Amino acid sequence: MPRFAEFCAGIGGFRIGLERIDGWECVYTNEIDERCQITYRDNFNEDFSSTDIFEIDVSQLPDFDVLCAGFPCQSFSIAGKREGFEDPRGQVFFKLEEIIENKNPSVIFLENVANLVRHNRGETFGYIKKSLKRLGYKVSHNILDSSYFGVPQKRPRVYIVAFRYDINSNEFEITERVTNRTTFREFINHGDNSIPISDKWQTYIDLYTGNIDIEDVDFEVPKTRKKLERIGSNVDLNDCIFQIRSSGIRAVSIDEPLPTFAVSNSGGGAMIPVYSRERRHLNLTEMKRIMGFPDEFIFTVARTHAIKQLANAVCPPVITSIGRDIDIILNNQE
């Protein structure tokens, strides 16, 4: 019956995923974001056990079998400055090293952006693997796409699982898919117009669907908005998702997984994808579904913060799958 600790917990994506497995129990949570704590409390009836990870007194931590962490990805992401361990957020891994060395859990379970593997010509990831081996762990990793786990979003992430050397993990494999590629169509929450589009966006939809010409637009259209930057295969422009990017607008089929849900999505509506058929932005229920969170997950924080929290989260269905892979190994120990 594994006891796990969740560091850099966000809004509890690891916890949701792992507590779906019989017997798994969360005994410690850490996260610095105060607004995330509000959401966490609303859903788990608990506050975080600690906030600033760098201030944790490791000797005061409870014992746990599995250390989980979706440690900050911004310093390794293609979308960021890629400063890696030079960025204070990237240095969270050094504190995780201290916790691992002192608590010696049976399993380490980490998640980050796929670019972590390639960051700094592979040197950053190489350091992480060597560090875990030095601390006494056998390391496995894989880049998984959440759309193969019942989540309607292409979200490649690297997952690292390391077993302590005394654990017989020779048969361990990270399951690469549990479903066919998941499309967005069946996850649409029809009729929820809680994030309406602006009058300008009404005009843009008319322009992109061919109802009007550029000469009919009564305002100055930016160069990046005059036509669609990219149209996916088999897209019905009257029933699709318009993905809003700084470089332009892309049309995405609802019969495909959506692109990676990113932090740049604005709670005010500016960067939230648009559903052309109902002429509205995606609503919060759809955003929860895109991330694999249950519909009943509660947000009492402002929409801007809720969207950011979701975009920074791990996808619970992927965590559940890997957790079950880990569970098999732990249950087979003699």
The sign of the dihedral angle between the CA atoms of 270, 273, 276, 277 is: negative
Average pLDDT estimate for 109-123: 87
What pLDDT, on a 0 to 100 scale, did the predictor assign at position 168? 96
Task: Report the pLDDT value the prediction gives residue 202, as an integer from 0 to 100.
Answer: 97
pLDDT in tens, 314-326: 999 999 999 999 9
> Among all residues, which ones are annotated catalytic?
73
CB 269 within 8 A of CB 289: no
Dihedral pair phi/psi, residue 281, rounded to 5°: -75, 155
Across the strands, what pairs with 253? 240
Q: Average of pLDDT values for 60-65?
A: 97
Mean predicted confidence (pLDDT) in 13-21: 98
User: What amino acid occupies position 228?
Assistant: L
Which DSSP string corresponds to 18-37? HTTSTT-EEEEEB---HHHH
Which of the four pLDDT bands, split at 50, 70 and 90, describes residue 96? very high
Q: Which residues are CB-contacts of 257 (< 8 A; sequence separation ≥ 6)?
A: 147, 151, 152, 153, 154, 181, 182, 183, 184
Q: Which two tokens stand for residue 80?
A: 């960021």
Answer whether 0.85 is exceeded by the pTM: yes
Give the pLDDT score at 84.
Answer: 45
Residues 23, 20: Cα–Cα separation, whole Å: 9
Cα–Cα distance, 184 to 295 (Å, whole number): 15
Mean pLDDT over the full length of the chain: 92
Residue 267's pLDDT band (boundaries 50, 70, 90)? low
> In the chain, where are the structural domains located?
3-182+311-331, 190-282
Burial of 266 (0-12, 13-18, 19+ CB in 10 A): middle
Residue 196: is its pLDDT beyond 60? yes
Region 211-238: mean pLDDT is 95
* pLDDT in the model for residue 272: 92
CB within 8 A of 1, min separation 6: which ones? 23, 24, 25
Span 279-314, pLDDT tens digits:
999 999 999 999 999 999 999 999 999 999 999 999
Contact between 277 and 253 under an 8 Å Cβ cutoff? The reply is no
Confidence check: pLDDT of 57 > 60: yes
pLDDT digits (tens, 9 = 90+) for 70-89: 986 455 444 445 444 555 55
What is the dotted CATH code of the domain comprising 3-182+311-331? 3.40.50.150
